[in-house]
Amino acid sequence: MAEDVQARLLVHEMLHATLHQNDDELAKTLGITVPTGGDASTAISDWFKNGCRDTNQKQEETD
């Protein structure tokens, strides 16, 4: 596993442990849009990959 992927995964899991929230709750707390038919874990991962920007929000607005 690449270092950047490991780092994102570690931060993702640390947020769960610190905030005591599941993926759906965490996505809401972070203001991440979960696409229709998508899952919160993937949306959170995408958010990290995109520099903590919610690119899903733009997709939802144009759908």
Q: Is the pTM of this model over 0.75?
A: yes
At 57 the pLDDT is: 73
> So where are the chain's domains?
3-62
Span 33-62, pLDDT tens digits:
999 999 999 999 999 999 999 887 765 555
At 12 the pLDDT is: 94
Instruction: Kindly report the average pLDDT of the chain as a whole number.
Output: 89
CA distance 61 to 63: 6
The string of DSSP letters for the chain reads --HHHHHHHHHHHHHHHHHT--HHHHHHHHTPPPPTT--HHHHHHHHHHTTS--HHHHHHHH-
